[in-house]
């Protein structure tokens, strides 16, 4: 995981589709209380994508950790699922596929990545780092 912060919130989530909405609410509430009110749209969207990935492709348990990292909001979602291959991820924004575009979408708003939780077995953490201020449009 990334460097520790004095501000950290963590929740366990059920491996059910309803967890996506619950996570979105929890993370948005904490983000707003920590001064990330200008980027709540991004926080909700990124949280939804990360938790949806864990519910659809991961395994039990699902855990979400939110912290401040530098001056950004760091959202990490851990699950017991296997790592995926990069070629399984759709790079085509025009694709009509319903799956495989989550990280590509997240990259429009945040830095993101994935790493193994357990090098000898299942488990991964998918993370996103959202700047406190909305990035200017190019």
Instruction: Say if residue 125's pLDDT is above 50.
Output: yes
Instruction: Say if residue 91's pLDDT is above 60.
Output: no
Assign 136 a pLDDT band (cuts: 50, 70, 90).
Answer: low
Per the rule left: phi > 0, alpha: psi between -120 and 50, beta: everything else, 69 is beta
Assign 102 a pLDDT band (cuts: 50, 70, 90).
Answer: low
Residue 76 near residue 110 (C-beta atoms within 8 A)? no
Instruction: Look at residue 6 in the predicted model and tell me its pLDDT.
Output: 82
Within 13 A of 52's CA, how many CA atoms are on the CB side?
A: 16
Region of poorest pLDDT, from 27-41, 58-72, 85-99: 85-99
Q: Which residue has the higher pLDDT, 28 or 56?
A: 28
Please give the average per-residue pLDDT across 113-135, as a whole number: 74
Instruction: Look at residue 119 in the predicted model and tell me its pLDDT.
Output: 60
Please give the average per-residue pLDDT across 19-34, as a whole number: 97
Instruction: Look at residue 132 in the predicted model and tell me its pLDDT.
Output: 87
Distances (CA, A) of 96 to 17, 28, 91, 101, 114: 22, 29, 12, 10, 24
- What structural domains and CATH numbers belong to the chain? 8-131 (3.30.565.10)
Instruction: Look at residue 60 in the predicted model and tell me its pLDDT.
Output: 86
Which residues neighbour 133 within 8 Å (Cβ) at sequence distance 6 or greater? 38, 39
Instruction: Look at residue 53 in the predicted model and tell me its pLDDT.
Output: 87
Please give the average per-residue pLDDT across 62-86, as a whole number: 85
Distances (CA, A) of 90 to 58, 106, 122: 18, 13, 22
Instruction: Say if residue 101's pLDDT is above 90.
Output: no
């Amino acid at each position: 995981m990334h460097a520790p912060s004095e501000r950290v919130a963590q929740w366990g989530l059920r491996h059910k589709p309803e967890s996506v909405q619950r996570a979105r609410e929890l993370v948005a509430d904490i983000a707003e209380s920590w001064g990330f009110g200008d980027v709540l749209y991004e926080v909700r969207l990124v949280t939804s994508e990360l938790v949806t990935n864990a519910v659809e492709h991961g395994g039990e348990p699902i855990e979400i950790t939110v912290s401040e990292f530098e001056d950004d909001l760091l959202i990490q979602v851990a699950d017991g699922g296997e790592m995926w291959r990069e070629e399984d991820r759709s790079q085509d924004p025009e694709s009509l596929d319903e799956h495989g575009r989550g990280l590509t979408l997240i990259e429009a708003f945040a830095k993101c990545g994935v790493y193994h939780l357990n090098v000898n077995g299942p488990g991964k953490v998918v993370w996103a780092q959202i700047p406190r201020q909305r990035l200017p449009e190019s």
